[in-house]
Structure 1
Amino acid sequence: MPLSDFAIRAAKPREKPFKLADGRGLHLLVCPNGGKLWRLKYRFGGKEKLLSFGPYPATPLATARRKRDEAKEC
């Protein structure tokens, strides 16, 4: 199920980092210090890679989804 802005704001830090999945490889990494980072998990040449889109709220949900779609086009 896709993320909502409310769910992102409500996510509280835990002892260990955790991910909130949005779909098609995009997820929000919530760090123990309270930081929230957008990341895209993808495969290239059979190897798993990570692409970072920046922190939330500097990079809002709509922008992260647009960047994911642009990255998937290449």
Structure 2
Amino acid sequence: MALTDIKVRTTKPSDKPFKLTDGQGMHLLINPNGSKYWQLQYRFGGKLILPA
């Protein structure tokens, strides 16, 4: 299920980092300090790639 703008804005940080999945390898990483980062996870040559 795709993330909505409201869901992204209203999600509160937790005591541990967690991910909200948007599908097809795209997810939003939410850190305990409240920072939010979009990440795209994919496979290349059979290896899982998660760019920083």
Q: TM range, normalised to the smaller chain?
A: over 0.9
4+ aligned runs moved over 4 Å, structure 1: none
- Stretches of structure 2 that go unaligned for 5 or more consecutive residues are none
**Could you tell me the TM-score, scaled by structure 1's length?**
0.67
The residue that corresponds to 1:29 in the other structure is: 29
More helix by share: 1
**Could you tell me the TM-score, scaled by structure 2's length?**
0.93
Aligned residues: 52
Distance 2:29 2:50 in 1: 12
Report 1 or 2 for greater relative contact order, CA contacts < 8 Å, sequence distance ≥ 6.
2
- Stretches of structure 1 that go unaligned for 5 or more consecutive residues are 53-74
The residue that corresponds to 2:43 in the other structure is: 43
Alpha carbon RMSD of aligned pairs, Å? 0.9
Task: Percent identity, please.
Answer: 58
